[in-house]
Amino acid sequence: MNAKNEVLLVHRVNTATSFANAHVFPGGNLDASQDGESFELCAIRETFEETGLLLTKQPVNKTLDLKSIREEIHSGKLQFVDWLNKENISVDTGMTN
């Protein structure tokens, strides 16, 4: 298998208050109410919020309206961990326990 390096970047809009019109890694701030103290969970949540990519250990139910869920999580109406638990979704941090 040929491995290749890949990097995920998002393009910030011209009207962004920081890094306007720049290509950046998805990210934000650790939110204790959303992520606890887990930087890995924060990175997965931020990536989901900003790109729609959800890094999971198993396929996600295709009937879920991920766009609406992303908006609810981003606005704080829905807690990421609560939603993961309700849907029995395990995120993939790439770490082994």
Q: Is the pLDDT of residue 24 over 90?
A: yes
pLDDT at residue 27, as a whole number? 85
pLDDT at residue 56, as a whole number? 94
Question: CA 43, CA 80: separation in Å to the nearest integer?
Answer: 12
Residues 6+ apart with CB under 8 A from 63: none
Overall average pLDDT of the 16-22 stretch: 91
Work out the pLDDT band at 1, boundaries 50, 70, 90: low
Tens of pLDDT, residues 36-91? 888 999 999 999 999 999 999 999 999 999 999 999 999 999 999 999 999 999 99
